[in-house]
Amino acid sequence: MAEKKYTFKGQKPGEEVVLLLRRHWITQIKPLGFSLVVFLVPIVMWLWVSLQLDFLSIPGQYVWGAALVWAAFGIFFVVYNYLDWYLDIYLVTNLRIVDVTQDGLFHRTVGESPLDHVQDVIYEIKGIMPTMFNYGNVIIHTSGPSGDIVFEEVYKPQEVQRLLFDQADHYKDINTEAPATAEDLLQLMLDHERQNLASGAKPGEKPGELPLPIPQKTTTSV
């Protein structure tokens, strides 16, 4: 959830972030565990070299060099996964929905849809882990060219669904003109008559329109 004011590139004047989401942190345990294993392997190799081989010997230097390369790879993998998680964000503003997907370090995809294009919002929670930690996918059906927008593996998807419905309804309410009342119609008619009188037309006539002639009765004498 967006607890503090958040700004982003391409933000429109008057646009405010109502909700900011990322994938649930629990989804990062698997890649983090793999990264930890990759990082620990060179430490074990270093200990083995220290106990079994002379560090200054040629075999020891090879093993030590391989351990350093492996450790660097493990650190890179940890940083890569963290950035991939951190830069993937889902935004709900008072104007639209924005989905930012980071594909690798140098490729970013941004999809968006105005709130008045939202047709339906559903959520799904599948599996043991999502059920235990209450996270899942929120699928937003839109009428725009971008198609459906999916918030993947977000925390409390049922609350996200409710907020999306509320925000879409609020946006439509404030951007829909209220129907004219009887007083508005009466005032419009009075203004129209004043304009006619100012142009020299009689009440009920259009400006520049001549009154229709009244037919006269004719009599014939015998």
Residue 130 has pLDDT above 90, yes or no: yes
Question: Is pTM beyond 0.75 here?
Answer: no
CA 73 to chain centre: 34
Interval 29-74: pLDDT, tens: 888 888 778 777 777 777 776 666 655 555 666 767 777 787 788 7
Helical (H) or strand (E) element with 161? helix 157-174
3-state secondary structure of 153: strand
Instruction: Determine the pLDDT at residue 115.
Output: 94
Using one digit for the tens of pLDDT, what is the confidence trace for 189-215?
Answer: 777 777 767 666 555 555 554 444 444
Domains of the chain: 16-175 (2.30.29.30)
Map 118-131 to HEC letters: EEEEEEECCCHHHH
- The pLDDT score that the predictor gives to residue 138 is 98
d(CA 160, CA 163): 5
For 68-110, the pLDDT digits (tens) are 787 788 788 888 888 989 999 999 999 999 999 888 778 888 8
pLDDT computed for residue 210 by the predictor: 44
Residue 218 scores a pLDDT above 70: no
Decide: 29 and 101 in contact? Cβ < 8 Å.
no
SS3 for 177? Answer: coil
Distances (CA, A) of 193 to 182, 197, 207: 17, 6, 10
Stretch 125-141: mean pLDDT, rounded? 96
Around 132, how many Cα atoms within 13 Å sit in the side-chain half-sphere? 5
Residue 217 has pLDDT above 60, yes or no: no
HSE-up of residue 195 (Cα within 13 Å, Cβ side) = 9
> How many angstroms separate the CA atoms of 167 and 163, rounded?
6
Mean pLDDT across the stretch 134-147? 90
Residues in the chain: 222
- What is the SS3 assignment for 38-85? HHHHHHHHHHHHHHHCCCCCHHHHHHHHHHHHHHHHHHHHHHHHHHHH
